[in-house]
Each structure stands twice: as C-alpha cells, then as structure tokens.
Homo-oligomer: A and B are copies of this chain.
C-alpha cells in the first residue's frame, strides 16, 4: 500500500468509525452470536494472494460487527468502563503510524520525555504527593494494564523486603501479602506469578461498606510475624471493581509505615475521580504509599491500553527489572541522565502510549475532564435515587462515585433472570456481582457518550421487567 492508497483507504476507515459512532445505538449492546459462529464464517486458511481493502472492510461489516459487544455504546453499563474518545483514537493512530519503540530513551527521546511530561501533568492534576514526582525519588510510567502494575509493585516489594535476594536466589522463605476480600483478582494473580503463593496472601475482611478493616490488617500482620513469616506487601483500593468500596488509605498506610510493608494503591477503576477536588479525599494518605496506579483507559476518555503507575522510589523498580545486554547499551543510558522505561516494567518493547493521553488532556483541558467525571457521578446519583424510591428494588451501598449496586427484592435467581432477560434484549448491557453472599446488580455509569437519557431508559427497562416478573 502506497502513501497515496493509504490516504484513500485511511479516509474509508475514518468514515467507517464516524458512522459507527453515529449509529452505535442501533446495535444490540451485548452481541447475540453463539460460540463458534464467527469462527465458522471465517476461512480456515489465509489467502494465498492479497485481497482488496474493500473486501476486508465488507467482512468487518458482515462477519466482525455482529460479534462485537459495544463497549463504546452509551447504553453499556457492564463490568467497568472502557471509555474512548476521538482525540484519543487519533493520538493512538499517530502512535501506530510512527511505529517507534520507547524501550530506551535513545530509541525515541520524545516517547520517553512526553511520557514523563504527561505523568507529571496527571500527578499535578490529581495532587499526588511529591514522592511520586520525577524530580524527587519517584516517578511515573505508563503500563498496559493495572494487572501489570500490580505485578511490578509486588515484585519490587518482594525485592525490597528481601534485600534484593529473591531476584538472585529465588523465593526462599515464606513472605506474606495482604489484600481485602474485595481486592481485584489481578493481585492474587500477581502473587502467584511472583512465586509467593496463594496460601501466603491474606484476604482481610471488610467493613459493612466493603472497605478493608485496618484493625484486622494489623492483626493479620502481627500473627504472621509471630509465626516467623516475612510480611512485605499490602494493596489498598480506591474503588473496588465489585462495589466501588474505598479502602481507608491513610490508616492502612500508617500500618504499612510502622510495619515496614510496601503499600500499593490500586485506583484502576476510580482513580480518575482524583482530578476533581471534591473527590480527592478518597486518595487521602497517598503520601504513605509506595506505588499507585489508575487507568485512563477506564474512566478518562483514553482508549485501551493505558494504565498510569507511580512509585515513590524508582530505584526499587529499576534495581528489580534492569538487565542491560550489550546490544541495548548506548551512550545516553550509560550517562545516567535519562530514564529507560523498559526498566520500570515486565515488557521490553513499549508503545508510544503517551501520545493519546497528551491528545486527550489537551483537547479537553483539566476543566473538561473534571466535567466529564462529575457528569457520571451525577447520573449515578440520579439512578441511585430512582432505585431508592422504588418499591421493588433496594440499594446495596451508597454509591461513592459512578457505580450503583442494587438488587431486586427477591431471590438471587430472580435477580439473575431479570438481568439476563434485559441483556438479551440488546438495548442495554449491565452485569452482576456478589456482595455478602448475595447476587447484586451493577450499573457502571461511565461511558463517554452516556447521558441522562440512556440512564433513564435503562431504569425504565429494569423497572418494567421487574414489574412484569412480579405480575407472574
């Protein structure tokens, strides 16, 4: 494909996407295809000779589109948000097109330095503590997902606690880590990967709001110390995935400081809210944390993948991950004057991800992004109000931000039936969780184009379906 042909075909893809967003409301939000249906429509073998671009785009329409669950639909209320925006898509396009590797400063200085810049901008926007700023001992880096950040934090913590012996000798003693029963599954995954073992991960019980109980955390640490283990890591969450619970960062942080444990704060889903002064109290105590992450690819208009990860002392990361084979040595790295971000995570190769984040922040400005967050929080408040006022439903938690947890007054089975029935209709898509042993329905209100209209429609669908079930 020549640049001239790229102009032509590129225009088609841009047009396709513009039209997709104009018509997104027409598709069932949750794809209706059956397992194997898409695969059966695709040829078993690759074509021997090249095919036309138009043929490929036709298959996108005919084969791929029916198997899409529309995460960008304004009526997508499932799981967690993954909101995108046009400026982000265009920043990402530029990144794909430039095709540079950001593994070392030297392999594209702009990729490293723009990343440092946007991470500083965000730190400032969220009033993150000085420890996380690159001019102090810390700094920020963009990872793909919060799972990778969790793994980086666990491994760096493991190294620090063992005086850098586990990298060398492997895990040779029982080291214990602490999360709440509500902490994201990626933490358990990281603990397993890092060779610590699931048996050494303590699930601390939560209070009635599903937030970690700091007293029980203290007890668990003391018990492990008494038994001769080496407690090394705690993860606290700003906004759990299941119910948006807010762990008490400050109290947990004080315990971690006292006991000498690494505190990682996972704000993957809800950390974006810290850009608004009125929600910043959820991050109170972050200056006691050793690492913190949140995902602009969830709730800050930046398309996947983009997780922002900060550490209070970058030496722990670099000491843990740095390996310099001769073929990557270069004058800039040897000088010690630059960051080589490949030493801040698992992967070597790295995409120029800061571009899309830079496009987003500049297009919307701090004001625009704050409005975006506030709008969703308001909509969630309205939805919660409708649940509260209804006779058939109950609110399970007071939503701190944009996730509403509620349930039909009835059995778990009735709740699941209600949800599956509505989802199969295709007008909206929402999902469930379990809290205190009971099925709970979740409305995650945070897609880029969600407005009062979609939220009201969703409530009407849910309420009407419940009334129909009641009449039977």
What chain B residues lie within 8 Å of A326 (beta carbons)?
242, 432-434
CA distance A93 to B93 in the complex (A): 6
Considering the chains assembled together, what is the distance between the CA atoms of A12 and B287 in angstroms? 43
Please, how many angstroms separate the alpha-carbon atoms of A46 and B351 in the complex?
22
A414 CB–B CB distance under 8 Å: no
Contact residues, A400-441 vs B (CB, 8 A)? 420, 431-434
User: What would be 29 A-B contacts, judged by CB atoms less than 8 Å apart?
Assistant: A1-B87, A3-B19, A6-B86, A7-B18, A9-B86, A9-B87, A10-B93, A13-B90, A20-B98, A35-B335, A39-B116, A46-B122, A48-B366, A50-B363, A56-B362, A66-B110, A69-B109, A71-B99, A72-B98, A82-B100, A144-B349, A185-B324, A185-B328, A192-B320, A193-B193, A193-B346, A242-B327, A325-B433, A331-B420
**Stretch of A145-153, A202-210, A250-258, A450-458 on the interface side:** A145-153
Number of copies: 2
State whether B186 touches A199 (Cβ < 8 A): no
A20–B5 alpha-carbon span in the complex (Å) = 14
| A466: min CB distance to chain B, Å | 21
Q: A94 contacts B37, CB within 8 Å?
A: no
Contact of A3 among B21, B44, B328 (CB under 8 A): B21
A448 to B338, CA, bound (A): 30
For window 171-221 of A, CB contacts with B under 8 Å fall at 171-172, 174-175, 184-186, 188-189, 192-200
Query: Is A361 an interface residue when CB atoms closer than 8 A count as contact?
Result: yes
Given pairs A1-B87, A97-B303, A155-B193, 12 additional interface contacts (CB within 8 A)? A11-B11, A13-B90, A42-B117, A50-B365, A51-B363, A56-B362, A71-B99, A72-B100, A82-B349, A89-B99, A144-B144, A346-B346
Tell me the minimal C-beta distance from A435 to chain B in angstroms.
9
Give the most central of A87, A89, A185: most B CB within 10 Å. A89
Which of A79, A90, A171 has most B Cβ within 10 Å?
A90
B-side contacts of A192, CB under 8 Å: 155, 166-167, 320
A316 at the interface (CB under 8 A from B): no
In the bound assembly, the distance between CA atoms of A241 and B326 in angstroms comes to 11
Question: How far, in angstroms, from A70 to B49 measured CA to CA in the complex?
Answer: 30
A84 within 8 A of partner (CB):
yes
10 smallest beta-carbon distances between A and B, as pairs: A195-B195, A170-B197, A67-B110, A10-B14, A84-B99, A38-B113, A1-B86, A171-B195, A46-B121, A17-B97
Given the complex, which residues of B lie within 8 Å of A167, measured CB to CB? 192, 197-198
CB of A442 closer than 8 Å to a CB of B: yes
Alpha-carbon separation in the docked complex, A62 to B60 (Å): 37
Given known A1-B85, A10-B17, contact A346–B442 (CB-CB < 8 A): no
With both chains docked as a complex, state the minimum distance between the C-beta of A379 and any C-beta of chain B, in angstroms: 20
